[in-house]
Amino acid sequence: DLVVVGSANADLVIGVERRPAAGETVLGSDLAVHPGGKGANQAVAAARLGARTALVARVGDDPHGRLLLDSLSSSGVDTAAVAAGGAPTGVALITVDPSGDNSIVVSPGANGRLTPEDARAVADRVLRPAPVVSAQLEIPLETVTEVVRLLAPGTRFVLNPSPPRELPAGLLAACDPLIVNEHEARVIAGDGALGDGPEEWARALLALGPRSVVVTLGARGAVTAEAGGDVTRVPSVRVDAMDTTGAGDAFTAALAWRLGLGESLPVAAAYAARVGAVAVTREGAQASYPTAEEVAAL
């Protein structure tokens, strides 16, 4: 149902009283190791909802890589297209203080070695049969552009440009939709004025060439816009937010899957907002992702 192309990281988390300044050493909590990375998060979110999901990624031939492969498999993600080796598994070193503020260092590791050649190697078997392919930018940009080039004419391409950077026009034109939060919208638009409200941002982004745009607004829901079509407000679901980590990845995965089932963009986005809402009521990223039954019960 869905193919995700993207990163897989081990998130190494230590709780601290105070995040260390330059030259300083602080003692922290026991280390917690969580599977993460936007690609792996999206794949797990879709699989948990019941989507048949495959991930195209690269991990290291090391314990973190095996941890990621195990967590993906146990969530039901097809990992046959996850390559291993070439560099250590990507890691995020995260310190969190009692107020929830964090400092993060990311070593992309093997994610940075997911090459256009890797994409070509899985094109016929994995990419071309997919109804929807979803990507983010924690892997080399040239790999994402190669994926787009390899897709079958009928395959829908969904991009969350995170971490954000200015995008080549050809890549923008393939996005259906481009999914951004406010920060990503500002970077993608460059110096271009975005306008006053999220409906204006969506129109401004649409003018850059994608076939459709979704702007996510956290607790305020989302806005969808389609070339030659309507701009639609997607209401959020009111919940007690506990941890927003990975909510955007769950939203994107759910949206991409529902689009592949044939839903319209506003209908798929409304479903994705419910998935995002459940995800923020629970701790963690992948650990917070709901099943379809849990979304229905919301």
Catalytic annotation, residues: 249
Task: State which residue, 32 or 298, has the beta carbon closest to ligand ADP.
Answer: 298
Tokens of 18: 């105070």
Task: State which residue, 112 or 218, has the beta carbon closest to ligand ADP.
Answer: 218
217 binds ligand ADP (CB under 6 A): yes
9 labeled binding residue: yes
Q: Kindly state the smallest distance separating residue 276's Cβ from ligand ADP, in Å.
A: 2
Alpha helix (H) residue ranges in the chain: 38-49, 63-74, 116-121, 141-150, 169-174, 182-189, 198-206, 247-260, 265-280, 292-296
134 binds ligand ADP (CB under 6 A): no
User: Mask of contacts with ligand ADP, 54-93, x by CB under 6 A?
Assistant: ----------------------------------------
Q: Kindly state the smallest distance separating residue 278's Cβ from ligand ADP, in Å.
A: 9
217 labeled binding residue: yes
Contacts of 124 by beta carbon, 8 Å cutoff, 6+ apart: none
281 labeled binding residue: no
User: Mask of contacts with ligand ADP, 167-196, x by CB under 6 A?
Assistant: --------------x---------------
Q: Kindly state the smallest distance separating residue 246's Cβ from ligand ADP, in Å.
A: 7
Q: Is 37 helix (H, G, I), strand (E, B) or coil?
A: coil
What is the side-by-side order of every strand in the sheet holding 102-107?
32-36, 9-15, 90-96, 102-107
38 labeled binding residue: yes
Going by C-alpha positions, the residue among 123, 131, 124, 147 that lies closest to residue 39 is 147
Task: State which residue, 83 or 289, has the beta carbon closest to ligand ADP.
Answer: 289
Q: Which value, to the nearest 10 degrees, does the dihedral of the CA atoms of residues 264, 5, 254, 61 take?
A: 170
Q: How far apart are CA 26 and CA 274, in angstroms?
A: 39
93 φ, ψ (degrees, to nearest 5) = -95, 115
Q: Is 204 helix (H, G, I), strand (E, B) or coil?
A: helix
Chain position carrying tokens 């390559």: 83
Q: Kindly state the smallest distance separating residue 173's Cβ from ligand ADP, in Å.
A: 23
Q: Is 57 helix (H, G, I), strand (E, B) or coil?
A: strand
User: Mask of contacts with ligand ADP, 233-252, x by CB under 6 A?
Assistant: ---xx-x-x--x--xx--x-
User: Which 28-57 positions form the footprint of ligand ADP (CB under 6 A)?
Assistant: none
Contacts of 75 by beta carbon, 8 Å cutoff, 6+ apart: 43, 44, 47, 48, 286
Tokens of 294: 């849990």
41 labeled binding residue: yes
- Number of Cβ within a 10 Å radius of residue 186: 15
User: Mask of contacts with ligand ADP, 266-295, x by CB under 6 A?
Assistant: -------x--xx--x---------------
Binding site for ligand ADP (CB under 6 A): 181, 216-219, 221-222, 236-237, 239, 241, 244, 247-248, 251, 273, 276-277, 280
Residue ranges for the binding site?
Answer: 9-11, 37-41, 138, 181, 216-221, 243, 245, 248-249, 279, 282, 284, 288
Residue ranges for the binding site for ATP?
Answer: 181, 216-221, 248-249
